Amino acid sequence: METIKSLQNEKVKNLVKLHSKKHRNCTKQFLVEGEHLIKEALYANCVSLLILQEDTINIFDYAGKMMYVSQDVMNKISQNVSEVKMIAVCEMIENNSEEFDRFIMLDNLQDPGNVGTIIRTALSFNYPKIYLSKNCVDVYNDKLIRSTQGAIFKVDIEICDLKDKIIELKENNYQVFGTSLKNAMPLKQIIRVDKYGIILGNEGSGVSNEVLDITSQNIFIEINNFESLNVAVAASICMYGLIK
């Protein structure tokens, strides 16, 4: 197979455009880098192109479309500082919601590391559904994908209007718990239920008031010495603490 060595190659230029959220949304594709994440993407059956550095052996059981490139071209396509040897182009994952008992809802979170960690934790504690508000960080941001450690391929993520979704979920007998320091009950005092979800908010301002106003109940974590926890840490505590 011919190796692409020119940085001006049209295919290379189009792949680099996937660094942009606008182009990702337009093509419904995103990039995944490194052996572990590519393996998870292959398990999820969403890889449409595998790009390998010219001296790299295809270690995957993948017989689909492939492309070999020089290290300079690989560095151009990559979104990381360190040199990578393999990148996959993936198709955006279509929502395939089955029935679920627990969910996570994220309101205007901006740090990709926080969102990625929450997605990873949600998978660990069996919260199979995650709703993101439309103003959250892009779920296909490279740093976010890497911080999920592959969990992004194993949970159902939906971007939506949170207020409309909360109303719909409450009508379907879910308890929706907001997280707030005001007008809230301690996590320890919440009666555990079978069908519920937890809302986490922006790193600086928390869950918006318009969302908190329509929850079933708002909760807070009792802590000493500090007013608040990192949102990913708080999410982990709430997820574990509300399991029945």
**Angle between helix 231-241 and helix 112-124 axes, rounded to 10 deg:** 20
Domain with CATH 3.40.1280.10 in the chain: 102-241
pLDDT tens series, the chain, 244 aa: 789 999 999 999 999 999 999 999 999 999 999 999 999 999 999 999 999 999 898 899 898 999 999 999 999 999 987 889 999 999 998 766 678 999 999 999 999 999 999 999 999 999 999 999 999 999 999 999 999 999 999 999 999 999 999 999 999 999 999 999 889 999 999 999 999 999 999 999 999 999 999 999 999 999 886 677 999 999 999 999 999 8
What pLDDT, on a 0 to 100 scale, did the predictor assign at position 93?
84
> What is the pTM (predicted TM-score) of this model?
0.93
Element (H, E) at 125: none
DSSP 243: -
Domain with CATH 3.30.1330.30 in the chain: 3-91
Cβ distance 78 to 32 under 8 Å? no
Reference 88, options 137, 181, 130, 150; nearest CA is 150
Question: CA 67, 72, 77, 83 torsion: positive or negative?
Answer: positive
| Cross-strand partners of 125 | none
| Range 102-241: architecture per CATH | 3-Layer(aba) Sandwich (3.40)
Structure tokens at 156: 């159902």
What pLDDT, on a 0 to 100 scale, did the predictor assign at position 225?
67
| Range 3-91: architecture per CATH | 2-Layer Sandwich (3.30)
CA distances from 79 to 33, 57, 63, 141 (A): 8, 21, 25, 10
DSSP 93: P
For the chain, the farthest-separated pair of C-alpha atoms sits apart, in whole angstroms, at 64
